[in-house]
Structures are given as C-alpha cells and as structure tokens.
Amino acid sequence: MKKRKQRRLIPSIETIIEWIGSPSSLMIHTLIFIFSFLFGIFDIFSWNRILLVLTTVVSLEAIYLAIFIQMSVNQNTASLREVEEDIDEIQEDIEEIDEEMQEDDIEEEKDREAIAQLSQKVEDLLAKVEELKK
C-alpha cells in the first residue's frame, strides 16, 4: 500500500521539481521578492513584518527544496542500481556466450583433427589398394 502511494506521488513530485528548476519559477520568485520589498518601500506593511514573513517563507521553501532534491537523488540512485543490475546480467550473458563459443571452437578443432586422421587413413588405404593392384 505504501509503495502504491509513493508511485502516485512521484509523478507530481517530479513535476514540482521540474517546475522549480524552470525559468518561470525563477521569474515568479523574483516577482514575489520585488513585491515584498515594494510593500515595505510604500509602507503598506512594516519592514519587520515583511522580513519576518519572507524569512519564514524562504526557510520553509528551503526545507522543501532540500527534501525534493533528496527524493530526486534517491530516485536517480535507484535508477542507477537498476542499470547496474542490467549491466551485470548482460556481462554474465556475454561471459556465457564466450564460454559456449570457446567450447564450440574446441569441438570444431577436435572435429578437424578427427577429419584429418580419417583423411590420412583413407589415403593410407588408397595407397595400399594401389599397391595391391600392382
């Protein structure tokens, strides 16, 4: 059950992470900071209140960004583990194929030797037949 919830959350978290790293996110954050300072410049709110709210918001945002970054790192690490496992399996398959090819080469060499021996025996027999003909 827990993994199902995580699987449903991951696409939305990935969307958030992608948005945070986008130019539109940069623009929105910049506009928020500009408006915040404009509120102080035009005395709409007191500087103490503006700085308190900005500090709190930035701190909370930093906490969530750190969590999102760690989740992204964990997901990439898991993905790399899967790739490593696939590479290990491929390497094992290659080694098995190499062993089979070496075994086939040994068998082919034995077959060639057997054919060479049989050819030699046939030549010897033909030579004896020629002798008997004379």
Gap between the Cα atoms of 128 and 106, Å rounded: 33
Mean pLDDT of 22-27: 94
Which residues does 44 contact at the CB level (< 8 Å), separation at least 6?
A: 38
pLDDT at 5 over 60: no
pLDDT at 4 over 80: no
Stretch among 14-28, 73-87, 98-112 having the lowest mean pLDDT: 98-112
**Is residue 6 very low, low, confident or very high in pLDDT (cuts 50, 70, 90)?**
low
pTM score, two decimals? 0.57
Highest mean pLDDT among 9-13, 17-21, 29-33, 105-109: 29-33
Amino acid 32 reads: I
- 24: phi then psi, degrees, rounded to nearest 5: -65, -35
